[in-house]
Amino acid sequence: MYIFEGLTPIVATRAQAVMATVTYAPAAREFVDLHAKEDIRHTHMIVGVIKDLIALDPTAAEAIRFGYRTFENVYPIPVWTAAFERAKREVMPTLN
């Protein structure tokens, strides 16, 4: 959850920049605008939970690191790059 919540505001902020170049109805921007802000708060909340968990069980730190390493292998940058290229083709064909 931390990784997704931490990445969402970054991606959403970039999406807002693209959306600002085109006229979108406020309802079409609602999801992106919400997550550009709210997921920052969610990220901080998750960090607090992780710290609390490690305080309760210090051995949890290794399991958390393992989870991140697994994420890196399962959900690598090429997946993000492919998604971005697909989005450019579908949403902004003039960027190709």
- Domain coordinates in residue numbering, the chain: 2-95
| Dist CA 12 CA 18 (whole Å) | 10
- b/e map 8-30, b = 16+ CB within 10 Å: bbebbeebeeebeeeeeeeeebe
CB 65 within 8 A of CB 71: no
- 């490690």: which residue's tokens? 54
* Each residue's pLDDT tens digit, 65-92: 998 888 877 776 777 788 888 878 877 6
* Each residue's pLDDT tens digit, 20-55: 888 888 888 898 999 889 999 999 999 999 999 999
